Amino acid sequence: MDLSGNLARHELVNCLKGEGPDRNLFDAADTVLRKRVGPTVYLRGLVEISNKCRKNCFYCGLRKDNNSISRYTIPFEEIVDCLESGYSKGLRSFLLQSGELLGKRHIELIERVLKWSMSNLPDVKMVLSVGELRFEEYDRLLHAGAHRYLLRIEASSPELYSKYHPPDEIHSYQARLKNLEYLRNSGWQTGTGVLIGLPGQTEEDLADDLLFMRDMDIDMIGMGPYIENRKTPLWERMNELPSTDDRILLTLRMIALSRLLMPRVNIAATTALQTVSSDGLERGLLAGANVVMPNLTPPAYRENYNLYHGKAFVGDTFEEIIENLNRRSRSIERIVDISNPGDPLHFSDRMQVQQEESNEKQ
Ligand code: SAH
Ligand code: SF4
């Protein structure tokens, strides 16, 4: 099989089914990575600012109806302490993540943090992953100093999506898609991704997810294995899950195929992948990922941000995390550039095309 960026759907399906040697697939992805984006690994310091959520996604431990966790929102001062401390150690990109909330106070908190960081840490790139908002709020947060937004489509097939989020007034595939399109068209460096190994999902679905992300022209990808959570409705379908090893392999194949199809995007080696595989970090990077998100959330809050069971921690202190990342990346000939904000090159390519198109029209 020709492992170029022109892989057809049936070839993607074959690779996902493991019908070619994985070694060839991962090597091809590594070659593309080194040639088109380079060996650098970029970091984003993750702060899980709130675990409150208005949604009820069937797979997620933060879902509104899960009464077994204590809900928190980290106060402004503590959030900026996390950022300041990460900054003093060299980090230049931070990700604020939370459940989905539309309340005024939540948006104001995010806006305040962004404005603070714009005036106090002007050389950082701020990333948001806070679910679907109103369009004017995306504009407001971009204006307040954010640069990137991650909104996973979760499953690009509307039928599959509605199995994990039965449609009602707040769960809608069309709304999610419109939000993603809005972000991509309004100046955000835009990321998306899917859950891998959900009960009922096929390799064909995953191949379509890859084509969806390519056709959406997105800049960043964050995707990881689905990990079961006892406190969610999907727990009932445990017996339909691929084995953990299969979910790991599927995730690595998805990363490698993304790198082949979309050479210049940023791809994360996610915490979920690191949770199910002790060497998930190295394996994710070797398959073509180039972003890692060390967790800066204060431990007292962290234990209640349980999307799934057994979330991985790569060391306790920040120094340990970085030391660990450096050592593990070096062992596979990759370099962590802690202070590089790491803009996705695909975004500059996309902006250039847009500029050329608008020049042609004039
Ligand atoms: N609330 C926001 C962002 C926080 S959730 C949103 O939904 O967009 C971040 C991601 O965690 C989700 O996009 C989802 O893909 C992932 N996630 C949730 N539950 C999970 C599980 N059980 N296993 C693996 N990933 C999960
Ligand atoms: Fe809420 Fe996001 Fe979890 Fe869905 S995935 S329940 S929106 S935190």
pLDDT in tens, 85-99: 999 999 999 999 999
Residue 316 has pLDDT above 80, yes or no: no
Q: Residue 315: what pLDDT?
A: 53
Residue 281 has pLDDT above 90, yes or no: yes
Q: Residue 259: what pLDDT?
A: 98
From the CA of 96, which ligand is nearest?
A: 1
Q: What is the mean pLDDT of residues 102-119?
A: 97
Confidence of residue 20 (pLDDT cuts 50, 70, 90): confident
User: What is the CATH architecture of 9-356?
Assistant: Alpha-Beta Barrel (3.20)
Q: How many CB atoms lie within 10 A of CB 96?
A: 27
Q: Residue 67: what pLDDT?
A: 96
Residue 314 has pLDDT above 80, yes or no: no
The CA 35 to ligand 1 mean position distance, Å, reads: 31
Q: Residue 212: what pLDDT?
A: 98
Q: Residue 2: what pLDDT?
A: 78
pLDDT in tens, 45-77: 999 999 999 999 999 999 999 999 999 999 999
Q: Residue 303: what pLDDT?
A: 87
Residue 294 has pLDDT above 80, yes or no: yes
pLDDT in tens, 162-203: 999 999 999 999 999 999 999 999 999 999 999 999 999 999
Candidates 48, 55, 192: which one to mutate for ligand 2, based on the most atoms within 8 Å of Cβ? 55
The CA 156 to ligand 1 mean position distance, Å, reads: 15
Candidates 152, 161, 230, 306: which one to mutate for ligand 1, based on the most atoms within 8 Å of Cβ? 152
Give the percent of the chain with pLDDT over 70: 98
pLDDT in tens, 199-236: 999 999 999 999 999 999 999 999 999 999 999 999 99
- Average model confidence (pLDDT) for the chain? 95
With a 6 Å cutoff on the Cβ, whether 227 touches ligand 1 is yes
With a 6 Å cutoff on the Cβ, whether 63 touches ligand 2 is yes
Is the pTM value of this prediction over 0.85? yes
CA distance 46 to 96: 6
Candidates 307, 308, 309, 311: which one to mutate for ligand 1, based on the most atoms within 8 Å of Cβ? 307
Residue 359 has pLDDT above 80, yes or no: yes
The CA 170 to ligand 2 mean position distance, Å, reads: 12
The CA 38 to ligand 1 mean position distance, Å, reads: 29
Residue 329 has pLDDT above 80, yes or no: yes
pLDDT in tens, 248-272: 999 999 999 999 999 999 999 999 9
Radius of gyration over every alpha carbon of the chain, rounded to an integer in angstroms: 19
The CA 332 to ligand 2 mean position distance, Å, reads: 34
The CA 98 to ligand 2 mean position distance, Å, reads: 8
Closest atom of ligand 2 to 98 CA is 8
Confidence of residue 312 (pLDDT cuts 50, 70, 90): low
